[in-house]
Amino acid sequence: MKTLFIKTTTTLARSINIACLSPFISPLGSIRFIRGPSKSDLQLTSELKEVVVGKMLGDLGSERPNLNCNTRLSFKHTDKQIEYIEHLYLLFKDYCKSSSISLSRYDNRPNRNKKYKAIKFNTRSLPCFNEFRELFYNNEGVKIIPNNLGDYLTPRALAYWFQDDGYKSVNGFYFSTESFTLEENRFLAELLLNKFGLECGVHTHTNGYRLYILSTSREKYIGLIKPYILPLFYYKL
């Protein structure tokens, strides 16, 4: 009797260079395979595009070694936000190879010197992410604020940006926008005013500048983003 070795669908798919193989039993009783979507077939829904835009303004990272390669997204949060990373993974699992992993980091900055854990997952490298890499990064690989951000910014995007980098002050809200220049922060303030009617300021911070939503726009801002805010972030409102 001959021994039959059957590769897993993932291994077989990789060996013939397609994205996925789904097994099913044919009416004749034999196992057949259906090809899943190729990389070029995978597209983002409008909702997921809004999530990507919001998180690009926040903590989302991306990697694209060169223009001959596609872009992958990197989601990372502290283990205290495991519910958030699980939510994000459920949104993007169809674009990923594997689930989240835990990483240990040692923070050796002055007055820190402590170990912390982060939860991370990466998407596959896909053409559908190239648009956002080109939009939010310059040729040197530095994250920027694009001039046409207004074409992409929605209440859902604002909500995911806030969940990443926003926090409340006594009367208004701050965003940790120190990685952006003064001109970019001023551009963001003007954009939020013109598109959403939100009055904003730019405040000097130790490491740069932070965008601030004034108390006069607090309730309007909450009304815009609350439908998209996860319950675990209600404390920020």
Shared-domain flag, residues 30 and 118: no
Shared-domain flag, residues 54 and 18: no
Shared-domain flag, residues 146 and 177: yes
pTM of the model: 0.80
3-state secondary structure of 104: strand
Shared-domain flag, residues 23 and 101: no
Shared-domain flag, residues 129 and 19: no
* pLDDT top residue among 93 and 33: 93
3-state secondary structure of 178: coil
Q: Give the integer Cα–Cα distance in Å for 165 and 160.
A: 9
Shared-domain flag, residues 24 and 58: no
Residue 228 has pLDDT above 60, yes or no: yes
Is residue 41 in some structural domain?
A: no
Structure tokens of 167? 């926090």
Shared-domain flag, residues 31 and 103: no
Is residue 152 in some structural domain?
A: yes
CB 160, CB 54: distance < 8 Å: yes
pLDDT band at 112 (very low <50, low <70, confident <90, very high): low
Shared-domain flag, residues 18 and 75: no
For 140, the domain range is 46-236
Shared-domain flag, residues 143 and 166: yes
Domains in the chain, number: 2
Is residue 210 in some structural domain?
A: yes
Residue 111 has pLDDT above 70, yes or no: no
Shared-domain flag, residues 123 and 142: yes
CB-based contacts of 25, cutoff 8 Å, min separation 6? 31, 32
